[in-house]
Amino acid sequence: MKCPTCGSLEDRVIDSRTAGDGSAIRRRRVCQSCSRRFTTYERIEWNPPLVIKKDTSREPFSRDKVLSGLRKACEKRPVPADRLELAVDKVERMVQESGETEILAVRIGEMLVEELKQIDQVAYVRFASVYQEFADPSEFAKLLGTKESESRGVE
Ligand SMILES: [Zn+2]
């Protein structure tokens, strides 16, 4: 694996374990040239469905995009990175198991909103507010309404 720091192809695996729910192998590697440590994940290859966006353009489902969306929503929140990996694993699996060749972006947004709801309330509302761009506004209002009554309950 090419070292992200020096580009050397010589590395040594120093740790190897299953990640997420066992659907991936996580390997810690150390570069033989510069000693940089980095992590790789090995997963079963699959052809991701196309995601249909609001403007009806399509792009392949991207695990990385989903993960970076979640990371953004969880910025400065006490959410472990592993927890987000697990959430993305779950959403990816649902998309996989749907067997669809195309899936609406709004559908993926719904899955993520559901996951975030169980992870972190602030991140949940943040994500939901981005998600409103492509969701039904009445649905979004309902989401916010739920959040407000819940936080009032806690205070
Ligand atoms: Zn290196």
Span 1-39, pLDDT tens digits: 999 999 999 999 999 999 877 888 999 999 999 999 999
**Whole-angstrom Cα distance, residue 96 to residue 64?**
15
pLDDT at position 154: 45
Structural domain boundaries, residue 17: 1-44
Question: pTM of the prediction?
Answer: 0.60
> What are 72's two structure tokens?
């953004």
Q: In angstroms, what is the span from residue 28 Cα to ligand 1's centroid?
A: 14
Same domain, 79 and 128: yes
pLDDT at position 43: 85
- Give, as residue ranges, everything with CB less than 5 Å from ion ligand 1: 3, 5-6, 8, 31, 33-34, 36
pLDDT at position 136: 47
Q: In angstroms, what is the span from residue 37 Cα to ligand 1's centroid?
A: 8
Same domain, 111 and 147: yes
Query: Hey, is 40 helix, strand or coil?
Result: strand
Interval 72-120: pLDDT, tens: 888 899 999 899 999 998 998 888 888 889 998 888 888 988 999 999 9
Q: In angstroms, what is the span from residue 64 Cα to ligand 1's centroid?
A: 24
Same domain, 50 and 62: yes
Same domain, 38 and 72: no
Same domain, 69 and 132: yes
**Whole-angstrom Cα distance, residue 68 to residue 124?**
14
